[in-house]
Amino acid sequence: MTDLAEKDLKYIWHPCSQMKDYETLKPIVIERGEGLYLYDTTGKRYIDVISSWWCNLLGHCNPQINNAVKTQIDNLEHVIFANFSHKQAINLCEKLVKILPKGLCKFNFTDNGSSAVEAAMKVSFQYHKQTGNPQKIRFMALSDAYHGETIGALSAGDCDLYTGIYKPILMDIIRIQAPDCYRCPFNKNRQNCNCECAVYAEKTFEKYGNETAGMLIEPLLQGSAGMKIYPPEYLKKLRSLCDKYNVHLIADEIATGFGRTGKMFAFDHAGVSPDIMCLSKGLTGGYMPMAMFVTTQKIYDAFYDDYSSGKAFLHSHTYSGNPLACSAANAVLDIMRDGNILKNANINAIYFNDIIKKKFLSHPNVGEVRNIGLINAIELVKNPSTKEPFDSKLRIGYRIYKEALKKGLILRPLGDVVYFNPPLTIDKEIMDTATDIALECLNKILTPAGSFPS
């Protein structure tokens, strides 16, 4: 493994990494996967409770998905998706339209989540230009948002870690203060609030609604912000505001779709529909890169005209609608439909949250444990009474991550928020093991007395 790690470092620039960190934590070269486990080239086993960046939905090397991709590769690996199609893509759209929020019925394929967000923003802008509202040229998004890392998607985001250095070249996004249920400015909590924080959105729409094309939202869960979770009522209020001001509600369900929040899509909790929804990650179960935006007949119709009108949406990706990716996605939906996956996941989610609260809430540096579906987040703070965070230079979360790797657990915290976002197929035995290891590592870095060891 050492030789392979050295070769890796000779050639590869890893994503979202300060490569100097790799001097002391070499790349872990993975050879195979099975279920919730990954195995490196020495045979060491790791529990993947972050779903390999939130995309592995049904476990590694799922036999049914494996067979679907193997069968497809002997028939058709790829075909241009302009003026051509194939059965896998058609079947996928037919399955999705039955489970998506009401009204979403037109599918545009891309190849990654950021690209889906970019395409959705372009469609929203072009729609308004073609329907008599050329003044609608801006976008709204929440503070602490994350929507991807291409320029448009990065502009919509507000995590300074990703956006800070690029601000001179980013779009001018209208920013709305996001819900923050842990540090609520109205002194409410998720159980007793009426989303009073929506007043920030109301004031922003009142000021900028006429010039806004679309509002981007991570529904119910702001992932990269530290797994911040807010109530469904907020989505209902946004829907009303978007209707009032003729603004597209663009749902970024890339991280929240396909059962992650306990329902098939996060918007299902609110009982309202967005105008455009972006999908990726769990769409193919983590097998193949694929993404899409889905929109309404009304938006689609604004682009439908003679070619000479110039109204076509001339946006393309080479691998749009790739047959191998579509075959994986079809298998994922078949398993979700036939295997009681979501029902069992919701039963296990109750157990998972209960044991995490029992094990972690008593620690003097745990500020909050929050959850939605099988996603659980533990926010570590210097002082729970004041909710004062640790100095980011201490890299508490990163140190816990390194300790967990030694013990065969992949955590990769978001700052000082340790989280679990496992495949929907996780069982109670793995939950017990993973949380025991995580607590042991937390206690090693943050002693039970609450002090940080020098």
CA angle (200 as vertex; 196, 202 as ends), nearest 5? 90
Query: Residue 215: which H helix or E strand, with range?
Result: strand 212-217
Q: 67-338 adopts what CATH topology?
A: Aspartate Aminotransferase; domain 2 (3.40.640)
CA distance 352 to 162: 31
Quick one: tokens of 369? 């444990």
Of the candidates 130, 422, 144, the one whose C-alpha atom is nearest the C-alpha of residue 286 is 422
CA 317-254-49 angle, to 5 degrees, is: 125
Chain centroid to CA 358: 27
Q: For the sheet containing 212-217, what is the strand order? A: 106-110, 291-295, 276-279, 248-252, 212-217, 138-142, 174-176
Token pair belonging to 325: 């990716």
Residues 401-412: pLDDT tens digits? 999 999 999 999
Q: Which residue has the tokens 């080239």?
A: 41
pTM above 0.85, yes or no: yes
Where in the sequence of the chain do the CATH 3.40.640.10 domains occur? 67-338
Q: How far apart are CA 136 and CA 209, in angstroms?
A: 8
Q: Which helix (H) or strand (E) holds 422?
A: none
pLDDT of 189 reads: 87
pLDDT computed for residue 191 by the predictor: 83
For residue 281 the two structure tokens come to 């990650």
β-strand pairing of 276-279 with 138-142: unpaired
Mean pLDDT score, 365-371: 97
pLDDT at position 451 over 70: no
Question: Given a cut of 80, is residue 270 above it in pLDDT?
Answer: yes
Q: What is the C-alpha separation between 205 and 210, in angstroms, rounded? A: 8
Dihedral angle sign, alpha carbons of residues 363, 364, 370, 376: negative
pLDDT 10s digits, 233-266: 999 999 999 999 999 999 999 999 999 999 999 9
Distances in Å between the alpha carbon of 70 and those of 58, 61, 251, 285? 17, 12, 33, 15
What gap in Å lies between CA 69 and CA 23, rounded to an integer? 37
- The span from the CA of 51 to the CA of 342, in Å, is 16
Looking at residue 447, its pLDDT comes to 79
Where does the chain hold its CATH 3.90.1150.10 domain(s)?
Answer: 2-62+340-445
What mean pLDDT is predicted for residues 135-149? Answer: 98
The mean pLDDT of 102-107, rounded to a whole number, is 98
Give 339's pLDDT tier (boundaries 50, 70, 90): confident
In the prediction, which pLDDT does 414 show? Answer: 96
pLDDT band at 192 (very low <50, low <70, confident <90, very high): confident
pLDDT at residue 183 in the model: 96
Amino acid identity at 439:
L
DSSP state of 48: E
Q: Nearest-CA neighbor of 239 among 200, 270, 204, 194?
A: 270
Nearest residue to 282 (alpha-carbon basis) of 320, 332, 325, 327: 332
Give me 425's structure tokens. 């197929």
Residue with tokens 């980011």: 392
Give 70's pLDDT tier (boundaries 50, 70, 90): very high
The candidate with the shortest Cα–Cα distance to 302, out of 346, 246, 344, is 246
What does the pLDDT average to over 207-220?
98
Q: In the prediction, which pLDDT does 186 show?
A: 95
Best CA proximity match to 121, nearest among 178, 198, 173, 175: 173
pLDDT score recorded for residue 452: 55
Question: Quick one: pLDDT at residue 425?
Answer: 98
Q: Can you identify the CATH homologous superfamily of domain 2-62+340-445?
A: Aspartate Aminotransferase, domain 1 (3.90.1150.10)
Residue 448: per-residue pLDDT? 58
Longest Cα separation, the chain:
72
Beta bridge partners of 371: 376
pLDDT tens sequence across 372-416 = 999 999 999 999 999 999 999 999 999 999 999 999 999 999 999
> What is the DSSP code string of 150-184?
SHHHHHH---HHHHGGGGGGS---EEEPPP-STT-
Six-digit token string for 191: 């159980």
CA-based nearest residue to 232, from 204, 265, 258: 265
β-pairing, 375-380 vs 366-372, is: antiparallel
Instruction: Report d(CA 314, CA 121) in Å as an integer.
Output: 13
Considering the chain, what is the average pLDDT of its residues?
96
Secondary structure element (H or E) that encloses residue 36, with its range: none
- Band the pLDDT of 454: cuts 50, 70, 90: very low
Of 1 and 391, the one with more pLDDT: 391
Residue 450 has what pLDDT? 45
Please state, in angstroms and rounded to a whole number, the distance separating the CA atoms of residues 357 and 348.
14
User: Mean pLDDT throughout 328-341?
Assistant: 96
297, pLDDT greater than 90: yes
Question: Radius of gyration over alpha carbons of the chain, in Å?
Answer: 22
Confidence of residue 1 (pLDDT cuts 50, 70, 90): low
Under the banding of pLDDT at 50, 70 and 90, the label for residue 292 is very high
